[in-house]
Amino acid sequence: MTAPKTIPPEFTATLGLRSGDQAWGSERRMALLAAIDTEGSISAAARKIGLSYKAAWDAVDMMNNLAGDLLVERITGGARGGGACLTDRARQLVSWYQAVQAEHQRFMAVLSRFGPDSQRHLDLLHSMALQTSARNRFEGIIQQIDSGPINDCLTLRLDDAHCLTATLTHASTERLGLAPGRRALAFIKAQAVAIAPRPGPASRPDGTAWPGRVQAVVTGAGLQEISLEISPHIHITGILDLSHEDAACTVGGSALAWFAASDVLLGTLD
Query: What region does 21 belong to: left with phi over 0, alpha with psi -120 to 50, or beta?
Result: alpha
Residue 24 makes CB contacts below 8 A (sequence gap 6+) with 17, 18, 62, 63, 66, 67
pLDDT recorded at residue 166:
94
pLDDT recorded at residue 39:
92
Residue ranges, the chain, pLDDT below 70: 1-25, 77-82, 107-134, 199-205, 244-247, 269-270
Domains of the chain: 17-112 (1.10.10.10), 130-270 (2.40.50.100)
Cα–Cα dist 29/16, whole Å: 10
Predicted TM-score of the model (pTM)? 0.56
Provide the 10 A C-beta neighbour count for residue 2. Answer: 4
